[in-house]
Amino acid sequence: MLRDHFVSRRRGATPAEDLATEPRELAGVRYTAAAWDPPALERLVSELAETGAAALATVDDRALLDAWGQTVETFLDPGSEERRRLDPALASLCRLSEAGLGAALEAVLGGVRRGPAERLLAEAPPRAVGAAATPSPVVVFLASNLPALAVQPLLPALLRRRPVLLKSPSAEPLFAPAFAAALAGHEPRLGEAVAAITWRGGDAELEAPLLAGAGKILAYGNETGLADLERRCPGRLVAYGPRTSLAALGAEVPPRAVAPGLARDVALFDQRGCLSIQAVYTTGDAHELADALAEELRSLARRWPAGPATLGELAAVQQVRQEADLRGLYRPPLALDAGTVVVEPEPTFLASPGRRTVRIHPLPRLHNLPAILAPWIGRLQGAALAGTEALALRSALGSLGLSRLTAPGELQSPDISWHNGGRHPLEALG
């Protein structure tokens, strides 16, 4: 059965014991196999297309929503067996603190609970009948920058009754198989329609039969990897490439009122998400805003400590700090692990080095912001907006490709109906 492709056969084993075995397992979750080769992947896609599609066709909407909602609630509960087994290893692989992982899972999973799932289902087109009722599988290449990313493409595919193969990144092979196994536990027919496996990506020979058997390929990743996939499956790839986000605040917005929300949108996922704020543009008092934001980041560092940093990340942040100091820019005192806030008088949007680093740009008027951001068209994802002048920019920012415009503090918590990259989640599946 397809469930064999993601359910561990060694329940209760310790992570150390699991790591010493083949197929390799961690936290009781099987995450790779010793013998994935082109014929094996071809057989797997064929099983999904036949057995998986047939099983999905028998699952009514209520059974699907029940199983989905129960699974999501299980993974939202930090005291559940699934979370207790998964969290320590997942936090390490995602380079988040356990508290930071908990906040991240709450943000991602909160948007796919039963309520949002029901609303998305209401937007789904009528289910096809006859020959058209046997849809081809969807193959999803996941990235490792966000934990639980698998739920965002998985739910729309299941609502469209499309069998799914989730390809987890080698850097984080745990969440997708754990979630899929729990989903199958609530509704075994879904276990026939979802496979969650891992292999080292980019092997054209290995992936050729997989891509040939897929109807649609969704992929999250860097520009190089996505371009390679597009070359190998032209016209069938839906690519979610690297993007970034910002905030814009009008002069009437009190800094201390908006700082908690801004800090949340900076700190979640340790600023590695496409909706993570990397810059703030304001017509208000930039120094007062910097102080308020630094205070909130300091507080969040106690609640959600930053995960471990690489030497390269630390060096990049230190460079931003040293350059600011050499130029005499205002920089509130913050411990390196709490974040970095710099008041940057130059308006040019610059990518943050991460680690909760944010530049605050004072502007005389916000109406110039779209022109400032124009060089980044196609690489911007969202904006947190507050104040009359900022809200008036919604149309102009949308024309630059920003797909999520919301209040500070809500930017990183979209629900499943969000049009990631401007695409409706159901329409992305064709």
Q: Could you report the per-residue pLDDT of 256-290, keeping only the tens digit for each? A: 999 999 999 999 999 999 999 999 999 999 999 99
Sheet strands (E) in 270-415: 277-282, 340-343, 357-362, 380-386, 404-406
pLDDT classification of 133: cutoffs 50, 70, 90: low
pLDDT in tens, 69-123: 999 999 999 999 999 999 999 999 999 999 999 999 999 999 999 999 999 999 9
Strands 244-249 and 25-26: unpaired
The residue-averaged pLDDT of 18-46 equals 58
Condensed to tens digits (0 to 9), the pLDDT of residues 344-377 reads: 999 999 999 999 999 999 999 999 999 999 999 9
- pLDDT of 21 reads 34
> Cα dist. 32→5, 77, 82, 247, 401 in Å?
9, 26, 19, 40, 37
For the residues 28-53, what does the mean pLDDT come to?
Answer: 75
pLDDT digit string, tens, across residues 222-234:
999 999 999 999 9
pTM of the model: 0.90
- Does pLDDT of 8 surpass 60? no
For tokens 């310790």, what's the residue?
14
**DSSP class of 270:** G
Report the C-alpha gap between 249 and 369 in whole angstroms.
11
**Is the previous residue joined to 23 through a cis bond, with omega within 30 degrees of 0?**
yes
Provide the 3-class DSSP secondary structure of residue 296: helix
The domains found in the chain, sorted by start residue, are 2-242 (3.40.605.10), 244-406 (3.40.309.10)
Q: Give the DSSP per-residue string, 70-119.
A: HHHHHHH-TTSHHHHHHHHHHHHHHT--HHHHHHHHHHHHHTTSHHHHHH
CB 138 within 8 A of CB 429: yes
What confidence tens digit (pLDDT) does each residue in 303-338 have?
Answer: 999 999 999 999 999 999 999 999 999 999 999 999
- Rounded to an integer, what distance in angstroms lies between the CA atom of residue 360 and that of residue 286? 7
